[in-house]
């Protein structure tokens, strides 16, 4: 049996720039090693270098040993006997990786090395067994579905089944839970851990969320700027004398809850029995059932729920991007007219034209103003979000995720909104960049008197920013309460699951204090 997967002095360079610097480490059979670090620190590059998926323009140096034998020199069919066979892979976005035209059954048969209809029937029991092993049932129905017909959590479980199909000795898991809500994230990580222990696998888990690995990892490697700067046993993860980069990740991932804040008594927005049904003639299930909620001036409303619960539909109704099928959205303080609302999207890179410099994209928001005034407005907005004016000459692909999300907020501020609706606006960022953006939004709320609607599947985000919390479940608003009341005594069963996912162990509280 394979005992270890090692990488020795692993380096990657591009155009004279070092991306990975002499990384060395090992994963043993039967252990789960977590690699944590900020976005761009080199975590994903490490996994691609190990499994031989780097593009030609990024040559890797150093050695990769599988049970003492070098695999970094293998090519073509020789590497195919390792990749997907002895070393499996879990990717960050399974729906983008899996073939959208193939059923889950076909994916599993391909992983098993089975081709042809005659042979497929003989392996049907194995296909169903793999799906049941990862908690997908009814297995026969799931097997016949395409990736786009599965939820995010189901797609990630299906990818785990595909990775396990060839009975690998090691699995490299690259941010497998980044797009999942708090409950699904915990379930997926526990499933990965249980399969790892049952099969005696070695797992290398890549994540920027250091809090999520405290119950499942055996060891932790901290990566920063392409180098391993710290390593420890998970039992020592929250030691008070920890490395500065480790502590930065811990503090960003588990920020303290804020003290209660005061906000205006009058309603800025009133959602009155507003719902949305996308089906023909509104005969089918509604994406959002009749919802009533008020937003006050200066209030931060946290909106939480699982994928498909109606959160984004609620956001689009508030922003005026969709008209409600029933009910209405009013602004009592403005003679029945809607308050100025701006939406900040989830994915910063998709909200800007990749061909245009940021200056051009921001000018579109103030194109009616004289050139000098428009330029001054843009400079002021950039200053409010902490960006340098020089950034305006860059295209989106030349910016980090955090810089681009700040630019998106600046563009929204140019419209002089009273309400900012942030639809999963930090979910694509690492925990440190996420904390910076949340602090920026709270600062804008204080300085400009903005109301914020922060939509997230991450209860840590909701806990950090919210005054009130609205919980959506299966298209319904099931709970709307003050944050402190919600955290101390959640009513709905889904609310209880969300609060339970926030459980912070004593060692973590000690290091934060």
Q: What pTM, to 2 d.p., does this model score?
A: 0.77
CA 171/CA 494 separation, integer angstroms: 32
Measured between alpha carbons, how far is residue 45 from residues 75, 176, 207, 226, 248 in Å?
Answer: 19, 15, 13, 9, 22
pLDDT for residue 410 is more than 60: yes
pLDDT for residue 176 is more than 60: yes
Range of the domain at 407: 354-415
Domain final position from 253, 287, 307: 253
DSSP state letters, 89-146: EE-S-HHHHS-TTS-HHHHHHHHTT--SHHHHHHTHHHHHHHHHHTT-SSHHHHHTS-
Same domain, 186 and 286: no
Domain final position from 211, 230, 253: 253
Rounded to the nearest integer, the mean pLDDT of the chain is: 86
Whether residue 411 contacts residue 362, with contact meaning beta carbons closer than 8 Å, is answered with: yes
Same domain, 406 and 487: no
Measured between alpha carbons, how far is residue 477 from residues 119, 303, 304, 495 in Å?
Answer: 49, 10, 10, 11
Q: Band of the pLDDT at 454, cuts 50, 70, 90?
A: very high
For residue 322, what is the domain's CATH number?
Answer: 3.40.50.300
Same domain, 407 and 390: yes
**Average pLDDT value for residue range 214-224:** 91
Tokens of 159: 């990818």
Is residue 261, in this structure, part of any structural domain at all?
no
Same domain, 275 and 238: no
Query: What would the pLDDT profile of 357-392 be if each residue is shown by its tens digit?
Result: 999 999 999 999 999 999 999 999 999 898 889 889
Query: What would the pLDDT profile of 250-276 be if each residue is shown by its tens digit?
Result: 877 766 666 667 777 778 888 999 999
Same domain, 34 and 125: yes
The residue length of the chain stands at 513
Number of other CB atoms surrounding residue 26 within 10 Å: 16
Is residue 347, in this structure, part of any structural domain at all?
no
Sheet with 451-456, side-by-side order of all strands: 341-344, 419-423, 451-456, 300-304, 468-473, 476-482
Same domain, 77 and 225: yes
CA 480/CA 288 separation, integer angstroms: 15
CA dihedral 197, 202, 207, 211 (to 10 degrees): 40
Is residue 97, in this structure, part of any structural domain at all?
yes
| CA–centroid distance for 345 within its chain | 14
Measured between alpha carbons, how far is residue 164 from residues 128, 158, 160 in Å?
Answer: 13, 10, 6
pLDDT of residue 46: 92
Domain final position from 253, 277, 310: 253
Same domain, 229 and 291: no
Q: Where are the beta strands (DSSP E) in 283-423?
A: 288-296, 300-304, 326-330, 341-344, 419-423
Is residue 259, in this structure, part of any structural domain at all?
no
Same domain, 220 and 240: yes
Is residue 275, in this structure, part of any structural domain at all?
yes
Nearest CA to 238 among 256, 257, 258, 254? 254
For 289, the 3-state DSSP assignment is strand
Same domain, 164 and 201: yes
Query: What would the pLDDT profile of 109-142 be if each residue is shown by its tens digit?
Result: 988 887 666 677 788 899 999 999 888 888 899 9
Number of other CB atoms surrounding residue 386 within 10 Å: 15
Picking from 43-52, 297-306, 399-408, which range would have the lowest pLDDT averaged per residue? 399-408
Is residue 393, in this structure, part of any structural domain at all?
yes
Whether residue 473 contacts residue 305, with contact meaning beta carbons closer than 8 Å, is answered with: yes
Query: What would the pLDDT profile of 400-409 be if each residue is shown by its tens digit?
Result: 777 888 899 9
Question: Residue 114 — φ and ψ, nearest 5°?
Answer: -105, 125
Same domain, 58 and 152: yes
Is residue 102, in this structure, part of any structural domain at all?
yes
Q: How many domains does the chain have?
A: 3
Same domain, 127 and 207: yes
Q: Quote the DSSP letter at residue 477.
A: E
Is residue 57, in this structure, part of any structural domain at all?
yes
Query: Which positions ≥6 away from 332 have C-beta within 8 Å?
Result: 266, 267, 270
> Angle at the Cα of 433 (from 431 to 439), degrees rounded to 5?
100
Same domain, 151 and 120: yes
């Amino acid at each position: 049996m394979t005992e270890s997967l090692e990488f020795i002095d692993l380096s990657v360079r591009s155009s004279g720039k070092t991306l990975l610097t002499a990384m060395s480490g090992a994963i043993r059979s039967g252990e789960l090693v977590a690699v944590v670090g900020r976005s761009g620190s080199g975590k994903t590059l490490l996994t691609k270098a190990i499994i031989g998926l780097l593009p030609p323009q990024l040559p890797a140096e150093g050695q990769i040993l599988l049970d003492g034998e070098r695999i970094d020199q293998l090519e073509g069919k020789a590497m195919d006997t390792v990749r997907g066979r002895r070393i499996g892979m879990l990717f960050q976005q399974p729906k983008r990786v899996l073939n959208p035209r193939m059923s889950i059954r076909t994916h599993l048969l391909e992983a098993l090395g089975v081709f042809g209809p005659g042979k497929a029937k003989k392996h049907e029991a194995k296909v169903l067994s793999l799906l049941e092993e990862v908690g997908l049932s009814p297995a026969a129905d799931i097997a016949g579905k395409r990736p786009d017909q599965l939820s995010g959590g189901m797609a990630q479980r299906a990818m785990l089944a595909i990775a396990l199909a060839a009975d690998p000795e090691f699995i490299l898991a690259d941010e497998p839970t980044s797009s999942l809500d708090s409950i699904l994230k915990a379930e997926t990580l526990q499933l990965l851990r249980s399969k790892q222990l049952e099969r005696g696998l070695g797992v290398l888990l890549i994540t920027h969320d250091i809090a999520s690995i405290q119950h499942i990892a055996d060891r932790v490697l901290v990566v920063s700027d392409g180098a391993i700067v710290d390593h420890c046993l998970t039992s020592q993860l929250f030691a008070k004398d920890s490395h500065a980069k480790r502590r930065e990740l811990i503090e960003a991932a588990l920020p303290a809850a804020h003290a209660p804040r005061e906000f205006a008594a009058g309603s800025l927005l009133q959602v009155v029995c507003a719902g949305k049904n996308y089906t023909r003639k509104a005969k089918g299930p509604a994406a959002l059932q009749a919802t009533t909620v008020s937003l006050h001036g200066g209030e931060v409303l946290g909106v939480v729920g699982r994928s498909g619960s109606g959160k984004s539909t609620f956001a689009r109704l508030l922003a005026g991007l969709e008209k409600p099928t029933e009910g209405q959205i009013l602004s009592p303080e403005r003679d029945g007219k809607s308050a100025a609302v701006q939406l900040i999207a989830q994915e910063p890179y998709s909200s800007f034209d990749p061909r245009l410099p940021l200056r051009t994209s921001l000018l579109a928001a103030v194109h009616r103003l004289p050139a000098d005034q428009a330029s001054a407005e843009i400079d002021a907005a950039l200053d409010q979000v902490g960006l340098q004016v020089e950034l305006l000459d860059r295209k989106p692909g030349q910016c980090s995720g955090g810089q681009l999300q700040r630019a998106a907020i600046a563009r929204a501020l140019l419209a002089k909104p009273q309400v900012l609706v942030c639809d999963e606006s930090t979910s694509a960022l690492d925990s440190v960049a996420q904390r910076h953006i949340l602090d920026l939004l709270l600062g804008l709320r204080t300085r400009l008197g903005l109301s914020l609607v922060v939509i997230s599947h991450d209860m840590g985000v909701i806990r950090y920013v919210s005054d009130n919390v609205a919980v959506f479940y299966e298209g319904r608003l099931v709970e709307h309460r003050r944050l402190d009341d919600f955290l101390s005594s959640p009513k709905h069963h889904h609310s209880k699951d969300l609060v339970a996912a926030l459980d912070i162990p004593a060692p973590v509280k000690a290091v934060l204090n």
